Amino acid sequence: MLKIARKDFFWWPRVEGILAVMLTFIERVLAKTVTDYSGCLLFRHPFELGGFAFSLSMVWAQVFPFVALQLYDGDIETQDAIAIFLASSFTLWLVLNIAFFCTVSEQSE
């Protein structure tokens, strides 16, 4: 929906007519599905969703498992184990992001 609102719906290889709409729709749905459910960042192309919206989707992907855990209606020991795993995964993700941003620096001439 964001791509349509930004008037950037069509896929970057320019094709004309109804074929362009069909190919673009198929590509957008497949790429979004694979990227969202696998976390494969390699599907993100500079011409695709990027910047703030991409960063927001990455944060959303880290928060949503905790929301799903709250909706889980199972054994309390299993729920505790899942919570520990999620907290550990989130902590590792956060530490790696901090380490990455601390190592990025401008090169001076």
Query: In the prediction, which pLDDT does 78 show?
Result: 82
Per-residue pLDDT tens over the stretch 56-77: 777 777 788 888 877 777 777 8
In sequence order, the 6+-apart residues with CB closer than 8 A to the CB of 57 are 36, 49
Residue type, 103: T
Q: What is the residue extent of each domain of the chain?
A: 1-49, 50-109
Torsion of the alpha carbons at 87, 40, 61 and 86, rounded to the nearest 10? -10
Query: In the prediction, which pLDDT does 72 show?
Result: 78
